Amino acid sequence: MPNAAPNAAPNAAPGVPGRPVQRPDAAQPGTQPSPNAPPNAGPAPNAAPNPSPGVPGRPVQPPEGARPGTPPAPNAAPPAAGPGAVPPGAQPAPQGVAPQGAPPAPNAAPGVPGRPVQPPGVDPGARGDLPVGRAEDRRGFNVPGRPGYVPGGFRDEDEDIRDYGRIQRDRREFNEDGRTYIREPGRIIVRDRDNYYIRHDETERFRDIDRGGFRRERRGGETYSYLDRPGGEQIVTVVDDDGRLLRRSRRFRDGREVVIIDNAYGARRPIYEDVVDLPPPDIRIPRERYVVDYERADERTVYEALSAPPVVPVDRRYTLDQVRYSPQLRARMRSVDIDTITFDTGSFTVTPDQAARLSTIAAAINQAIRNNPQEVFLIEGYTDAVGSDVDNLSLSDRRAQSVATVLTQRFQVPPENLTTQGYGEQYLKVNTQGASRENRRVTVRRITPLIQQGQAEGAPPPR
């Protein structure tokens, strides 16, 4: 049964179509942040270079002697996956020496630009809503020694599979700890009770953009990929042994590196534990401005939705995974619904005539990125309720990725400023089990204030 729209109230009485069932006896994997927790301070636009990569929006200072514009040496020690964590195959740092890739030291004296203020008693390395001090690796599935393990999360030979029939035939199921894991080319799907989650190969879209300018290397328990861009820039993506995105950054010819997405802090957790339980936001703007209908909107209206602050204050920074898997967290940002893009049955290819319809959203995104090169936009894919849950989830994720690829290849939207996620038949816009064009849609929303320090500005007070 499909779930309701993201801002629908939980359903305490099971059986109402289109609304998520609230399970009083189920432990919530995420907890609401403390209302007294201060927001993290963000970097100033001209902040000093960052000697420790991992803080979005701050340039990374390359090590002394490193050649500008070149990737680190293959034998260099990879950055730590999180505070106190030692990647597989790496040696622990000597006592008293901070691990490479650790966040910058907290600022005990507020007022220093570009450094987060450290409140008393708070661990700056605590990830999201994890209890302080918890650092165990709980991936749950893609672990060495288990049947479904693949180093780096995804197989190289799956890269060029575009036939959905073959994708279905290549699916393999594994059961671990009462959950079902479905591995298919380029994707891992998790069934946890009545919920489905999907994770994709984070480098696939970048390979599709320019295979000649793409390369990657495995270093310890992490994989570094590099995409060369016009003008000498380079996009660097780091994923862990599970295939989970740790960090994405933009490296310039002079060696400066600015982190756009930092998903690396805190212990590694299974994706079903990245759901943050929040109340629905109190929406005090007209519905048509909160969820913009792309077919009826002009470029100005689309741009307004993709540059607006959260509709309610956001009190702290979240990980990208928490944003992807938490509907009420995403609901704090406005969105643009695109239901004018159609796909052939069982296909995730955007045809040229369909691609032309993305010109307005592309112009709005490009304008926003010109104003702030660190903006991040989530491209979400949805289907109607016809078909199986697994097929709908897989197709929606691949279609969202295809739209993001077209935005880059045809309209020059920087790929590093986009991220994608499929939701299948979850969050139906129209509560029907039948075919529905309105439910087969792509949604675009700005998520910068949710994932970047200093960008989580609150909504203006209602008038």
User: pLDDT tens, 60-75?
Assistant: 544 444 444 444 444 4
Neighbouring CB atoms inside 10 A of 353's CB total 8
Contact 259, 58 (CB under 8 A): yes
The identity of residue 175, as a single letter, is N
Cα–Cα distance measured from residue 27 to residue 31, given in angstroms and rounded to the nearest whole number: 10
> Locate tokens 């700056």: which residue?
124
Residues of the chain with pLDDT under 70: 1-160, 265-268, 453-463
| C-alpha to C-alpha distances, 240 to 82, 130, 182, 276, 408, nearest whole angstrom | 11, 19, 19, 22, 25
Cα–Cα distance measured from residue 21 to residue 14, given in angstroms and rounded to the nearest whole number: 6
Cα–Cα distance measured from residue 364 to residue 370, given in angstroms and rounded to the nearest whole number: 10
DSSP of 249-261: EEE-TTS-EEEEE
Cα–Cα distance measured from residue 99 to residue 221, given in angstroms and rounded to the nearest whole number: 15
Strand extents, DSSP E, 19-81: 59-60
- Sign of the alpha-carbon dihedral angle for 322, 323, 324, 325: positive
Angle at 67 between CA 62 and CA 71, to 5 degrees: 75
Whole-prediction pTM: 0.68
Cα–Cα distance measured from residue 448 to residue 375, given in angstroms and rounded to the nearest whole number: 6
- Sign of the alpha-carbon dihedral angle for 315, 316, 319, 320: positive
Contact 153, 146 (CB under 8 A): no
Q: Which two tokens stand for residue 429?
A: 């816009």
Q: Which residues contact 160 (CB under 8 A, 6 or more apart)?
A: none
Report helix, strand or coil for 301: helix
Q: Which two tokens stand for residue 59?
A: 């340039």
Contact 285, 333 (CB under 8 A): no
Cα–Cα distance measured from residue 439 to residue 224, given in angstroms and rounded to the nearest whole number: 37
Cα–Cα distance measured from residue 292 to residue 382, given in angstroms and rounded to the nearest whole number: 16
> Helix, strand, coil: what percent of the chain each, to 5?
20, 20, 60
pLDDT at 140: 55
Neighbouring CB atoms inside 10 A of 280's CB total 16
Contact 325, 274 (CB under 8 A): yes
Contact 249, 262 (CB under 8 A): no
Pick from 215, 202, 209, 201: nearest CA to 411: 209
| Domains along the chain with CATH numbers | 152-451 (3.30.1330.60)
Q: Which two tokens stand for residue 229?
A: 């861009």
pLDDT at 146: 58
Q: How many CA atoms lie within 13 A of 77 on its CB side?
A: 14
Report helix, strand or coil for 164: helix
Cα–Cα distance measured from residue 315 to residue 276, given in angstroms and rounded to the nearest whole number: 14
pLDDT at 231: 86
Report helix, strand or coil for 371: helix
Cα–Cα distance measured from residue 181 to residue 198, given in angstroms and rounded to the nearest whole number: 10
